[in-house]
Structure 1
Amino acid sequence: MKIVIRNMAKADTDSVLGMMRDLAVHHDQLEYVKIDREQFVAQAFREHPSFGVFVAEAAGELVGYVSYTLNFSIWAGSTFLGIDDVFVKPGYRSLGVGQQLMTYTRKEAERLGLSHLKWEVEKDNHRAIRFYEDLGASLRIKGVVTWRNESEKGQLAAGAPEIM
């Protein structure tokens, strides 16, 4: 089976959003997916996109994706690629699609002169951890702390200082 890895095109939007929802359902986190199609397109295809997506295509069908953002490490003084999602449709897992997606992502980060790639994995997702380690990535155990704003509009909570 021939897999083509490429940048997401606007025409891929619905397929990528569908896979993103599938991933969220798989992790029982669908309630956290707030982005709608209009916002997705606006953020992904503006002059300076908020995020990027690489897609895996087999016989004209999208079968996986990696979404990412570019971030700046203050300590390192350099920009790195932060992977948000890695997803391969169930019927295409263990066929090398994920490896091709990750390899492509790494090469693109190198091509852009980025210092490193970083992403998170659930500590009990042993299959994914093995997959990443087999790619040569190293796992660093570190807790992830989140503090969600109560406002759906993303406004600062009452009494919190503004960041300027």
Structure 2
Amino acid sequence: MSPFNIRPAAEKDVELIYGFILQLAEYEKLANEVVATREQLRETLFSEKRYAEVIIAEYENKPVGFALYFYNYSTFLAKPGLYLEDLFVIPEMRGKKIGKALLSYLAQLAIENNCGRFEWWVLDWNQSAIDFYRSIGAKGMDEWTVQRVDGESLHKLAGENVEVT
């Protein structure tokens, strides 16, 4: 049995999600841009009209990371797409394949929901993240900073064994 698992976030996780967002913003040198409040997160993530969804990664039952995502639409494919807005794993847990497990979980959701693509952006200075994304089959979009996993790479990523609770 794996020492970590991934679960959908619940309303009780708002404080945790907010904390992860602040840590991510600090890492990205964008802390001054965070204007979100806990109440806004509660409203936009857990009310009747939800705008995004969150999954939580836990290691030995302790929250260690999150991913926030939503569905978009590709007119060229005439299919929905899954867009990863944020992914964060606490620094001391990096290198344990938790980030890859979060991406694999999302790739599985993309396939289950007939998505034609799975995309995200990465800051151009974050070479370690770019290298990691390339290692799982993501392609850089030269005219954008969007990352995409599709086709064989999407299926390969979705094939990762992830314990889902």
Give the TM-score band, short-chain normalised.
Answer: 0.7 to 0.9
> Are the aligned partners of 2:25 and 2:34 in contact in 1 as well (CA < 8 Å)?
yes
**Equivalent runs, 1:10-49 vs 2, <5 Å:** 10-49=11-50
Structure 1 counterpart of 2:157: none
Structure having the higher strand fraction is: 2
Alignment gaps of 5+ in structure 1: 145-164
Q: Residues 123-134 of structure 1 correspond to what in structure 2 (within 5 A)?
A: 123-134=124-135
The equivalent residue for 1:116 is 117
Q: Which has the higher helix share?
A: 2
Instruction: Provide the residue aligned with 2:3 in structure 1.
Output: 2
* Higher normalized contact order (CA 8 Å, seq sep 6+, divided by chain length): 2
CA contact (8 A) 2:79 2:114 kept: no
Q: Which letter does structure 2 place at the counterpart of 1:73?
A: S
- Taking structure 2 as the reference length, the TM-score comes to 0.81
The one-character-per-residue Cα deviations of 1:14-49 (angstroms, maximum 9, x if unpaired) are 111101101101112112222111110111112341
Equivalent residues in 2 for 1:15-164 (5 A)?
A: 15-143=16-144
Normalised to the residue count of structure 1, the TM-score between the two structures is 0.82
CA distance in 1 between partners of 2:40 and 2:123 (Å): 27
- Unpaired segments ≥5 residues, structure 2: 146-165
Query: How far 1:59 moved relative to its partner?
Result: 2.3
Residue 79 of structure 2 aligns with an amino acid whose one-letter code is S
Q: How much is the aligned-residue C-alpha RMSD, in angstroms?
A: 1.5
* SS of alignment partner, residue 24 of structure 2: helix
Please report how far the alpha carbon of residue 114 of structure 1 lies from its aligned counterpart in structure 2 after TM superposition. Answer: 1.3
2:61 partner amino acid: G
Q: Rg bigger for which structure? A: 1
AA aligned opposite 1:74: T
Aligned residues with identical type, % of pairs = 28
Q: Per the alignment, in what secondary structure is the counterpart of residue 71 of structure 1? A: strand
CA shift digits 1:61-112 (9 cap, x unpaired): 2101111121122333221111111110001001111011110111011111
* In structure 2, C-alpha distance between the alignment counterparts of 1:43 and 1:123, rounded to whole Å: 28
Matching residue's letter, 2:15: D
Q: Distance in 1 between matches of 2:34 and 2:77?
A: 31
* Aligned length in residues: 144
